[in-house]
Structure 1
Amino acid sequence: MPARAHKSNAIVQSKLARLDEPHVAPLVALADEIAKSRGLPPGAVPYPDPDFAGVRAEALVLLKSPGPGAVTGTGSGLLSPENDDPTAARAHAEYERVGLDWRRVVHWNAVPWPTEADNPTGSDLHAARPWLPRVLELVPDIRAVLLLGKVAEQEWARPGLGTIAVGRRVPVIAAPMPSWPGITRAGASQALREAFDRLASVLG
């Protein structure tokens, strides 16, 4: 589908109706468990896009926290480069450029719930840390990790995560966030392109 496809409510609703499909259902259940732990309703923690690989993913793409395009109410309620926001559109363009089928990939956030500020607080990060290992348990076949932004890099580097949690060594690729503040820094666009090039090369 084209960039910003989630402008269409019909497309969004058709995807939300597929969240019980076996490849995404475990991650949907985890998102609801996280929401409940925060006193939030189901759906407040955005779900994986069912067009992605879900638990069959060959690569995990980790970002910092849900943006407006992913949040229920202001956006689709899905983690997807088809969301109607510039960050998602830039990620969509990179997938298209390298010809990488995102049915091989799953997106997640270091802080999986919406945060009040653009950047998660220390409290948010601390509260989120028990959840990422749970995600990794659900995606046992990943062959690469793409970290988008400093928050994702810092959280992945914490003891007990990374290749230890995955259970074997996989390439870990770091890149700037494709958001406006991140992508305008000197060399950021090129670094993002190189990261997607490497991800595509690793997956083959």
Structure 2
Amino acid sequence: MTARLGAVRTEPRVRPLNDWVEKLRVRLGDGESVPWFDPASGGVAARSLFLLEAPGRKSMGAEAELRRTGSGIISVDNDDPTAQNCWTLRAETGLDYRESVHWNVVPWYLGTADRIAAPGRSEIQRAAPFLHEVIGMLPALEVVVAMGRKAQAGWAVYRERYAPEVHTLETWHPSPRVFASRPTARAEITDVLREAARLLERG
């Protein structure tokens, strides 16, 4: 992952997105931190977007005060169970990581050094214009998969404001807690991701 962190500003597919991240950090100007896009992903060439709610602690890097626990990148290769579930499900359903990108409806970390927090309505509303800027850098985008209720709420706010011309699919958040509490969640996510793969094949 160290080598990947070094490529966040040199890999052509993600350089525009990570230039944007750097500027967003300055624009926020209040100590909030936004992780980088993964250089191993599709970047600006992505045809599918996997949208979750907000960055987890394992995506927060050394530049985030008191949160030096992770890679600094939103990646399916992060050392946390949700990322691992995303990696496994994507691989099982034939979704090429080089044609996809993972992001969050709220791009900055929420919570404290010890505990993550879920986004509320105010954070979702505040973040919608920033998501619009990201979508504007994905000209090949065809499918958005909103994973979890908060991501779905954020995507609904975004769609109401900006009416993107993409296929929208909704499914469960791929966390171990969801899998443990809802025995059918994994199979339901798999079905949705297979539908995403079918839509991309037709496109």
TM-score range, shorter-chain basis?
Answer: 0.7 to 0.9
Residue 38 of structure 1 pairs with residue 3 of structure 2: no
CA separation in 2, counterparts of 1:195 and 1:19?
A: 30
The answer to whether the 8 A contact 1:175-1:192 is kept is yes
Q: Which residue number in structure 2 is paired with residue 201 of structure 1?
A: 198
Which residue is 1:118 aligned to? 117
Return the alpha-carbon distance in structure 1 between the equivalents of residues 98 and 194 of structure 2: 17
Distance of aligned partners of 1:160 and 1:126 in 2 relative to their CA distance in 1, 3 Å threshold: closer
Partner AA of 1:61 in structure 2: F
Residue pair 2:125, 2:154 contacting (<8 A) in 1 also: no
* Counterpart-to-counterpart distance in 2, 1:41 and 1:151: 23
Q: Which residue of 1 aligns with 2:145?
A: 146
Do structure 1's residue 54 and structure 2's residue 43 form an aligned pair?
yes
AA at the equivalent of 1:90: N
Equivalent pair of 2:54/2:104 in contact (CA under 8 Å)? yes
Separation (CA, whole Å) in 2 of partners of 1:118 and 1:182 = 16
Runs of 4+ aligned residues of structure 1 deviating over 6 Å after TM superposition are none
Is the Cα–Cα contact under 8 Å of residues 45 and 138 in structure 2 kept in the other structure?
yes
Question: Cα distance, 1:153 vs. partner?
Answer: 0.9
Q: Report Cα offsets for 1:123-163 as digits up to 9, x if no partner.
A: 322321210110110001111111111111111112123xx
String of CA shifts for 1:20-45, please: whole Å, max 9, x gaps: 22210111022122222222579x31
- Is the partner of 1:139 in helix, strand or coil? coil
Give the counterpart letter for 1:145 in structure 2. Answer: V
1:104 corresponding residue in structure 2: 99
Within 2, Cα distance between the matches of 1:115 and 1:185? 25
Partner of 1:160: 161
Give the letter for the 1:147 counterpart: A
Is the CA contact 2:105–2:131 (under 8 Å) kept in the aligned structure 1?
Answer: yes
In the superposition, the TM-score normalised over structure 1's length comes to 0.85
Aligned length: 187
Q: 1:87: Cα distance to partner? A: 0.2
Could you tell me which runs of 5 or more consecutive residues in structure 2 were left unpaired when the two chains were aligned. Answer: 62-67
Pairing partner for 1:87 from 73, 82, 86: 82
| Per-residue deviation, 1:186 | 4.6
Task: Tell me the CA shift for residue 189 of structure 1.
Answer: 1.6
Among 184, 187, 196, the alignment partner of 2:184 is: 187
What one-letter code is carried by the residue in structure 2 that aligns with 1:201? R
Q: Does the residue aligned with 1:111 lie in a helix, a strand or coil?
A: coil
Query: Aligned-pair RMSD on alpha carbons?
Result: 1.7
Q: 3-state SS of the aligned residue for 1:195?
A: helix
- The amino acid of 2:141's aligned partner reads I
* Matched residue SS, 1:138: coil
The answer as to whether partners of 2:54 and 2:109 remain within 8 angstroms in 1 is: yes
Distance 2:154 2:122 in 1: 13
Structure-2 residue corresponding to 1:176: 172
Distance in 2 separating the partners of 1:157 and 1:171: 13
Task: State the SS of the aligned residue for 1:130.
Answer: helix
Give the distance between the partners of 1:49 and 1:31, measured in 2 at CA: 12
8 Å Cα contact 1:149-1:182 kept in structure 2: no
Q: Which residue of 2 aligns with 1:128?
A: 127
Structure 2 residue aligned with 1:19: 8
